[in-house]
Amino acid sequence: MITRLQYYSSGDSFIRTVFPDYLLFLAGMFAVAAAGMWLTYVYVFPSKQRFAQEQAVKDNRSPMYGRILEIQEDVVQMREMIGKLSDRVDEIYGSKK
C-alpha cells in the first residue's frame, strides 16, 4: 500500500519519471531490498557477532569462555596423569616379562 501511495503521489512525479510502470517500480524496490538484506546478512551480522564475541572474551567477561579455559586445564592435567599412569603400568608389566 505504501509503495502505491509513493508511486502515485501527486506532489512527486520523479518516481513516475524514472519508473514509467508501477510493476517496474516494484521490481526496483525488490532489488534494493534484496541487496540490502544480502549486505546485512553477509557483512553486518557476522561483523557484529565477531565484535560481540571479542568484547565478551576481554577481561573475563564471558562465563562460558572462562569455563572453557577451566575445562582445557582439566584436560591437560588428565593427559599428564594418564601419561604417568601409562609409564607406571609399563614399568610394572615391563619388569615382569
pLDDT digits (tens, 9 = 90+) for 40-73: 999 999 999 888 888 877 777 778 888 888 999 9
pTM beyond 0.95? no
Q: Name the H helices within the chain.
A: 2-7, 14-18, 22-39, 45-57, 63-96
Tell me the percentage of the chain whose pLDDT exceeds 70.
97
Q: Where does residue 43 fall: left (phi above 0), alpha (psi -120 to 50 degrees), or beta otherwise?
A: alpha
Q: Is the pLDDT of residue 84 over 90?
A: yes
